[in-house]
Homo-oligomer: A and B are copies of this chain.
């Protein structure tokens, strides 16, 4: 006898992240039933064909090429968007919300470029739009932000939100590698894409910082409005000079509340060895939040990868179905 509430999850895009989510839902099913009284099941997959479902050991008949079919399926409560990229993801997130589905996404680009519109769609439909996985991967960052926010004005934040560049800078620091050698190594290990532009030029970090800065400001801070410098110009000499001063170079996203407005930027910065951020190695991420009562709080963990990302997505699925909150952090439309 299973008296748990049966809940269908649809996954849009069964790439490495989507497949990891399906696997994790299966693996954690019994525990989630016990802890939350939910009987979670992947009941729909949006893909071009059934091959990926078969490869992920999922029934081929879950696959559809029609978003409408998913949106009109009353058995689907939560849509997990793991397509990536702005288009068509942002429109599909909006359509899902308007159809009364909760949406969980890791898509920093779609969100950061459409934050206001998507939050409004969630608010109007009464559905949840949850995106813990979009910034800092598996790190419980937004849930911590929300908890701190209840008791603090959060006056600034800064962090390492791109694992690829942190790996490259770590290699340059500890092994004395040049940027080109460290990049080649990151590409070999799968930490960097064949075209590394989005990472090394800071675009990925800007998307993530845009989401954090928007939350902080209470208004949409578009990625285009964020000052951006990549790490392609960082030289071994820069690293050595920082090191001589007891500092290391990190690609930091920073947002500060000044006179009611938020100033945000992404770029390589010297970080004192006294600060935990200086010791965040390899492809790990970390964010420091500063609250006026609590002081600085640092959260660190794996910022990318299928399993850590799926972990944050599954937490958000449970959150959507148990909390009634329409966003990871309070948001006024």
Give the chain B neighbours of A17 by CB distance below 8 A: none
| Cβ contacts under 8 Å, A194 to chain B | none
Q: Which residue of B lies closest to A302 (CB)?
A: B295
Is A175 in the interface zone, CB < 8 Å from B?
Answer: no
The stretch of A120-128, A145-153, A203-211 in contact with B is: A145-153
Q: How far is the CA of A273 from the CA of B279 in the complex (A)?
A: 9
* Contact stretch, chosen from A27-35, A55-63, A65-73, A253-261: A27-35
Known contacts being A143-B143, A150-B32, A153-B31, is A295 close to B308, with CB within 8 Å?
yes
Q: Which of A1-9, A46-54, A176-184, A311-319 contacts its partner?
A: A311-319
Q: A140-B144, A143-B143, A330-B35 are in contact. Are A301 and B295 (CB under 8 A)?
A: yes
Complex CA gap A235/B214 in Å reads 49
Contact of B294 with A301 in the complex, beta carbons under 8 Å? yes
- Please give the distance in Å from A293's CB to the nearest CB on chain B: 4
Q: What separation, in Å, do the CA atoms of A32 and B308 have in the docked complex?
A: 32
CB distance from A48 to the nearest CB of B (A): 27
- Asked, given contacts A276-B300, A296-B301, whether A140 binds B138 with beta carbons under 8 Å apart, the answer is no
Partner of A299, one of B150, B299, B319: B299
A295 CB contacts on chain B under 8 angstroms: 138, 301-302, 307-308
Residue in A138, A139, A310, A318 with the greatest tally of chain B CB atoms within 10 Å: A138
Given A24-B293, A276-B286, 9 more pairs with CB closer than 8 A: A36-B330, A139-B297, A140-B148, A150-B315, A151-B311, A286-B298, A295-B307, A295-B308, A299-B300
